[in-house]
Amino acid sequence: MIRLALHLPMLNSQSSQNQIEVGDGAAIPHKSDAGLFTAWRIAFFGAIVLCLFLAFGRPDQYMAIFMFIPDGILVTFKVTVGAILLAIVFGLIAGLGRLSNNRFINGTASLYVEVIRGIPLLVQLFYIYYALGRFVKIPDILSAIIAMAFCYGAYMAEIFRAGIQSISKGQMEAALSLGMSRRQAMSEVILPQAFKVVLPPIGNEFIALLKDSSLVSILAVSDLLRRGREYASETFNYFETYTVIALIYLILTLFFSKLISLMEERLNDGR
């Protein structure tokens, strides 16, 4: 559940289209991968059918669970979206820092990436959550989001760094030779191209984050998993509850994988 290492996006030197391959196996279905595509369909629709069957076929055991947990889905969603957006900000800053010629900036960014990637997410969550709680009074959900984002930002930094480095040197040189400053060249020429390259790996991170967000349930955040635990500890229906929780996570992950793959296809058709 906790990822200790993410396979770094590799530069694909053969492809002229500037794509980076990611070895991390978040199963984003692609039309070209027929097997995975079929598996996606079976899993997605199977999970939905199973949910419907449980809710309406065994209403006395399951209906109540389905009624109890929707707040949790909303919280899980909030944590995931909040954390990914913030992680993109952290990642962009740290990624640019890792490419900086300034020793201090580069060193700080590298330290952040190395330290964070060396500590399990769960430990970091506890640590940042309680560290934050000591100094500032902010809502639990916000500390959870910051803690998740801080961790994911380190992985995101490597994605941005690889994405920026995948843009050919000639682009920066052409921009500079037109009199642009490095900063202008970065924001007008390099980053817009890099964003297209990093979108697929960021999609993968989003899916991974959606799953890892279940870790915040051990903090005082009522996400999907925690709502399930609350329900189960009242009713002692552990098996039924966790069946539903697992199915809902599966449906969410598969749904967003599909959405992301559709977005990517759009993007590739664009030009």
Query: Residue 20 belongs to what H/E stretch?
Result: strand 20-21
Question: Which residues make Cβ contacts (< 8 Å) with residue 95, sequence separation at least 6?
Answer: 109, 156, 157, 158, 159, 160, 161, 163, 164
What token pair was written down for 138?
């902010």
Task: Say whether residue 35 binds other proteins (CB under 8 A).
Answer: no
Task: Say whether residue 176 binds other proteins (CB under 8 A).
Answer: yes
Task: Say whether residue 178 binds other proteins (CB under 8 A).
Answer: yes
Task: Say whether residue 196 binds other proteins (CB under 8 A).
Answer: yes
Q: Are 97 and 109 in contact (CB under 8 A)?
A: yes
Q: Which of residues 15 and 177 has its CB atom nearest to other proteins in the complex?
A: 177
| Smallest distance, other proteins to C-beta of residue 270, A | 10
Task: Say whether residue 268 binds other proteins (CB under 8 A).
Answer: no
Q: Which of residues 196 and 229 has its CB atom nearest to other proteins in the complex?
A: 196
Task: Say whether residue 23 binds other proteins (CB under 8 A).
Answer: no
Considering only 21-29, 52-60, 84-92, 181-189, which stretch makes contact with other proteins by CB under 8 A? 181-189
Question: What span, in angstroms and rounded, lies between the C-alpha atoms of 208 and 1?
Answer: 9
| Smallest distance, other proteins to C-beta of residue 171, A | 6
Task: Say whether residue 179 binds other proteins (CB under 8 A).
Answer: yes
Question: What span, in angstroms and rounded, lies between the C-alpha atoms of 19 and 11?
Answer: 7
Task: Say whether residue 193 binds other proteins (CB under 8 A).
Answer: yes
Distance of CA 214 to the CA centre of its chain: 12
Strand, helix or coil for residue 10: strand
Question: What span, in angstroms and rounded, lies between the C-alpha atoms of 227 and 118?
Answer: 30
Question: What span, in angstroms and rounded, lies between the C-alpha atoms of 94 and 74?
Answer: 30
Q: Are 249 and 214 in contact (CB under 8 A)?
A: yes
Question: Which residues make Cβ contacts (< 8 Å) with residue 175, sequence separation at least 6?
Answer: 184, 185, 188, 189, 190
Task: Say whether residue 25 binds other proteins (CB under 8 A).
Answer: no
Select the residue interacting with other proteins from 181, 238, 267, 268 (CB under 8 A): 181
| Smallest distance, other proteins to C-beta of residue 90, A | 25
Task: Say whether residue 73 binds other proteins (CB under 8 A).
Answer: no
Task: Say whether residue 173 binds other proteins (CB under 8 A).
Answer: yes
If you write DSSP's letter for every residue of 25-76 in order, what string do you get?
Answer: ------TT-HHHHHHHHHHHHHHHHHHHIIIIISHHHHHHHHHHSHHHHHHH
Q: Which of residues 161 and 196 has its CB atom nearest to other proteins in the complex?
A: 196
Q: Which of residues 35 and 170 has its CB atom nearest to other proteins in the complex?
A: 170
| Smallest distance, other proteins to C-beta of residue 182, A | 9
| Smallest distance, other proteins to C-beta of residue 267, A | 12
Interface residue list for other proteins (CB under 8 A): 168, 170-171, 173-181, 184, 188-189, 192-193, 196, 271
